[in-house]
Amino acid sequence: MPKSAWLLTLLVMSLLVMGMTNSNSADVQTVSVQGKITYTDGKPVRGATVTAFSDNRARSISVYSQEDGTFKLSDIPMADYEVRARLLGYEDSWEDLGHVHDKGEANLELAAATGLDLQWQRPANTLLDLLEFDNEKDANNFRMMCTYCHQVGTLGFRSPEEPVDWEVMLTRMDGFQGLYKHTQETLVDRVVSVYGRDAEDKWPEYVPEEAPKGDALKGRVREWIMGKENDAVIHDLELGMDGLVYTVDMTADAIETLDPATGERIVYSIPNGKDYNSTDPPIKGPHSIEPAPDGNMWLTLALSGEMALFDVKTKEWRVVPGHENPRPRGGYPHTLRFVPNGDLYWTDAALGVFSLDPDSYDAETNRYDVKYYKLPSKDQVQGGGARGESRGITPYGIDPSPVTGHVWYSKLNGQRIGRVAPELADDDPKKIMEWQPPVHGPRRLHVAPNGLVWVPGWASGEIASFQPETEEWSVYPLPKGPSALPYALNIEPKTGHIWITGTGTDSMLRFNPETKEFTEYRMPTRVTYTREIEFDEDGGVWTVNSNAPARHIENGFGSVIHLIPDAGI
């Protein structure tokens, strides 16, 4: 089948799956659903997550019940809906509304969960907290090496129940070989004792935290499932100038676009990658995506060591080497950003930092002028003996400063942040400088409009700001501590608020740097492993659910998530 015909077939199938016939957002008719959530004694429930699912659950919209238990879902597309009310410590409550033509009403009652049902209410951070180590150094090492891609302790994580299965899985998962030797020797027994068969009978009683209140009740969350069931890693997303959301599916070797207005999805496979419907391992491994100033999308292809350009109008691809002297593995291109002069910079987790001039393409050689920035190697990973992606330093996040134009990066396993000053001569010792942050496991950092560098501490459960002029740090522990696993953060440009992924807590966090207050917005789906964060012009917050493997996720799919923090009731 010709590629164009295949794409058309996929488009039609996508529309049928969604139960949508409108391709123009102006044609989508909207309705509202409202009601009240109460406990079995009739008292109102504050802070329940109330979700309306489309008839096939491919799309959902959520709000939070107010102090008096009421909720309202307004301006949602006309469809068949099921409504669910969810609150930690209580059984989910459902009501099937059928086809909502104008207004729907759902009044749901929450009954307390007990026994195993209560234990499995636990978010992953409370499950990870059950795994004890002799000291914080060992605990940090485990979080650094064993939570890179998925939550720990959830039902899907516990699927290998026999000790031999655990041994095989845990040995494979330590492919980076970064776990301390003494941890490797004891980890299987340690994990089986906490998460093995019937181990939950020995868990301490679970006391759910207080229900959300205040600003946390004003949020509105839209979620669209993406990719194939139990076989998707929606690793990153970007908002296109054309109104589409562009996602990369790392296991499918593809871009998958989403039209938020209609629910339409279209898949664009990377040339010479795996077939989208194949169950084979990925070949290209698209990791991160970033829009160029002209609106076209650039990708890092982590597994093949390449860079890719996707023309959003012609739908054509250009795949090029990630650096001038590719090894058999080709490096591991990771995160990418454009700087104000139009150059593209990216980290390579195996090699360092690179840049290219998008205007330097040579069609005869299929190459760009690529520049390599060799990063300092002193005082890198100690005692881990890591190799592969983690070898030595792991250059990771990257972001340009809007104040100086300097390019900041992090070294996840090297415990460093650094900056490249492009305007300085290559032999200037100040061209590339590094600092050791007070947080452990710096991942995807961002630079604020005022020049402050904000860094998430993946293993220590903190965020920190760095003032380059004074070299002063300020550290802010997250409310749920080290097991919160803050993968990434970003700064909303209009408010200056710092948004942090609650990667281990099924949540998103907002931090006000003026008041020093955190607000947590609970996500509707259990096992929500969030990655990068983007913002729309209205202050909406966009991210993805990217737990790998996807079978751990409650519904078995990746997803795109859109949070409107101050939508009101």
CATH code for the part of the protein at 29-113 = 2.60.40.10
**What are the residue ranges in the chain where pLDDT is below 70?**
1-27, 161, 174-177, 324-330, 378-392, 569
Return the pLDDT at 59.
94
Q: What is the pTM of this model?
A: 0.92
Return the pLDDT at 384.
42
Return the pLDDT at 388.
42
Return the pLDDT at 56.
82
Question: Measured between alpha carbons, how far is 134 from 54 in angstroms, rounded to an integer?
Answer: 47
Where do the structural domains in the chain lie, given as residue ranges? Answer: 29-113, 121-202, 216-227+437-569, 234-387
* Domain spanning 234-387: CATH superfamily: YVTN repeat-like/Quinoprotein amine dehydrogenase (2.130.10.10)
CB distance 443 to 396 below 8 Å:
yes
Return the pLDDT at 314.
98
Return the pLDDT at 327.
52
How does pLDDT run across 78-114, given as a tens digit for each residue? Answer: 889 999 999 999 999 999 999 888 888 999 999 999 9
Return the pLDDT at 22.
31
Question: Measured between alpha carbons, how far is 353 from 333 in angstroms, rounded to an integer?
Answer: 9
Tell which residue, 289, 288, 251, 257, has the closest CA to residue 273: 251
How does pLDDT run across 403-457, given as a tens digit for each residue? Answer: 999 999 999 989 999 999 999 999 999 999 999 999 999 999 999 999 999 999 9
Strand 297-301 relative to strand 286-291, pairing: antiparallel
Return the pLDDT at 322.
84
DSSP 163-214: HHHHHHHHHHHTTT--S-HHHHHHHHHHHHHHHSTTGGGGSPPP-PPPPP-G
Question: Measured between alpha carbons, how far is 447 from 466 in angstroms, rounded to an integer?
Answer: 9
Question: Measured between alpha carbons, how far is 46 from 212 in angstroms, rounded to an integer?
Answer: 7
DSSP 138-172: HHHHHHHHHSSSS-SSSTTTT---SHHHHHHHHHH
**Fold: same for 29-113 and 216-227+437-569:** no
Return the pLDDT at 397.
98
126: which residues sit within 8 A by CB, 6+ positions away? 206, 483
Return the pLDDT at 305.
92
Return the pLDDT at 569.
62
Return the pLDDT at 62.
97
H or E segment and range at residue 8: helix 3-18
CB distance 44 to 35 below 8 Å:
no
3-class secondary-structure state, position 345: strand
CATH code for the part of the protein at 216-227+437-569 = 2.130.10.10
Tell which residue, 433, 432, 435, has the closest CA to residue 473: 435
Return the pLDDT at 57.
87
